[in-house]
Homo-oligomer: A and B are copies of this chain.
């Protein structure tokens, strides 16, 4: 559980000789943000003075160094830092191209997209040739799907009603408000107290009616048997998915939970703490999850997320990104648009998390209307924090810290 988040980010600005800039970051919840900063310093020699033109090579340069791999490999602090660096490079590229990232990606050829992926450790589940086939199959209809998104937006869901510690009255009010605002899925935090969860979920179900989906999120609270027993008690209120029922490393545990809950119609979701594409690969191979919750900043940036989108498409599972925190909504939206337009081609059961928090600090904040994300047209990855916010909140010299 995350009882005391102190929203923070390690922030990267890449500058090229011709004056172009790319901004990226990785979100933390406070302590240890400075460790990610140290990790960025350790990666800087792989970036400073080098070219950023080939983004496949750029991403592999940041994740293949043998000495850096010793600290992971491809997980934890070093991988968060690599993600921030790689996402900054994508912001730079999209700005240079004068396109929002979702559009830049959606217009690339299947072959060019496949070259962006680090294929190590994937071939028992997905080969580059299969990936080309998936992307080639999605080429027809790309223009039409982009138009659909521009007209209707991309479905969002909200966690606003469901934080632990909210009074019953507040949950009721916010759940009704969410439906009135157009959301068709809301999410409640669970796992602190079983009787409380039953009461809160009953209340939320009564507030939203039978047709609005309610997801629940345990934030890794449970062991496998406890997850199964606890969700058994909540099943009567038809939760749509249980998110992070146990350790994000526990592939087999998720599979056991999913098998046990299959009869109740409760889906299993995870991803915000899944370390890398190798773990996602196995979650899919083991049929351990129903919902792939990729995160823009946990893995090695856009490149590794392309691998994860391709794996999800291969296994036919919907991607519903993790968002919230600092700027995750801004970043992940591009990946979902790209997924619909050029990878899976599907919107069914796909939805992007939305938390109305900290958007005011971004130069290109997300726009969510009537329960849907609106497609951004500004060039870049929407990952830039306003200059005045950077000055005010920079640690330790910013005025906000006085």
Taking Cβ atoms with an 8 Å cutoff, the residues of A that contact B are 1-6, 28-32, 34-39, 41-42, 65-68, 70-80, 120-124, 220, 223-226, 246-253, 256, 273, 275-276, 278-279, 281-282, 285-286
Contact = CB atoms under 8 A, between A and B. Distances in A.
Contacts of A79: 76
B249 A279 contact: yes
Contacts of A70: 2, 28-30, 32
Contact of A121 (B30, B35, B72, B247): B247
Contact of A35 (B71, B123, B250, B273): B71
Nearest to A272: B70
Contact of A73 (B78, B123, B220): B220
Contact of A276 (B34, B68, B249): B249
B251 A251 contact: yes
Most buried by B among A28, A65, A71, A285: A71
A387 B8 CA distance: 39
A71 B77 contact: yes
Given A65-B31, A71-B28, A121 B250 contact: yes
A92 to B, nearest CB: 24
A6 B67 CA distance: 8
B66 A2 contact: yes
B73 A75 contact: no
Contacts of A275: 75, 249, 275
B75 A30 contact: no
A132 to B, nearest CB: 18
Given A39-B35, A72-B76, A124-B223, A4 B253 contact: no
10 contacts: A5-B66, A5-B67, A31-B42, A31-B65, A32-B39, A74-B249, A75-B275, A77-B78, A124-B223, A249-B279
A77 B28 contact: no
Contacts of A74: 249
Contacts of A123: 223-226
A71 B80 CA distance: 8
